[in-house]
Amino acid sequence: MAAYAWYGWVGYEARSLPWRPSVTYRYAFFSGDKPATSTYERFDNLFSGTQDYFVPGLISSKVVTNSNLRSQRVTLAVNPAQTLQLKLNYFAHEAVTLNNLGGIGPLQRLASRSLLQELQFDVYWYLGKNFYFQGIASAAKPGQAIRQALGGTANNWYSLQTSLYFFF
């Protein structure tokens, strides 16, 4: 096995402005297998990291993993209060190789590199010393690879997730 992954992340936060607006861009690469070689090159991510940083999106993470993936992410964030953060994330994912062995069932062999795009809105709100609220609303548009794997057509996907955490 000879797999690799890397990413680059740049951003800017305007700390002197109200709400401290910020913009970030991340480009990530996770190698995919080349069937013509005897070496297995597909990156195997044992742990992808925390939800906000290395998971490829709420909906995307149910379809693709950080393997055989070229991923771009743009995030716009504001902090209306010290205890509240709002984020808008855009993800664009494509396969590195058409050979996707190790991926989920119908996506083992791809007819296109275009996997999906996702738009996600996050709310992180500390409700005092013992409570933390997290809300995520997301919409994803399947790319050509997923549409072809599902018979040529696929509807957009939507998800809403809310969580309330209690600390003691």
What top-level class would CATH report for the domain 5-166?
mainly beta
Residue 130 is predicted with a pLDDT of 94
Q: Averaged over 102-112, what is the pLDDT?
A: 89
pLDDT digits (tens, 9 = 90+) for 53-86: 667 889 998 888 889 999 999 999 999 999 999 9
Cβ atoms within 10 Å of 150's Cβ, excluding its own: 13
The structure's pTM equals: 0.90
pLDDT digits (tens, 9 = 90+) for 144-167: 999 999 988 899 999 999 999 999
Report the C-alpha gap between 124 and 134 in whole angstroms: 5
pLDDT > 90 fraction of the chain, expressed in percent and rounded: 67
Which residue type sits at 109?
A: R
Of 89, 96, 84, whose CA–CA distance to 118 is shortest? 89
The residue ranking higher by pLDDT, 141 or 101, is 141
Of 77, 100, 99, whose CA–CA distance to 26 is shortest? 77
> CA angle 93-74-66, nearest 5°?
35
The residue ranking higher by pLDDT, 155 or 48, is 155
Which residue type sits at 29?
A: F
Report the C-alpha gap between 20 and 31 in whole angstroms: 36
Ordered strands of the 84-94 beta sheet: 5-13, 22-30, 69-81, 84-94, 114-126, 131-142, 157-166
Residue 64 is predicted with a pLDDT of 87
What are the sequence ranges of the domains in the chain?
5-166
Q: Averaged over 109-125, what is the pLDDT?
A: 96
Report the C-alpha gap between 138 and 88 in whole angstroms: 10
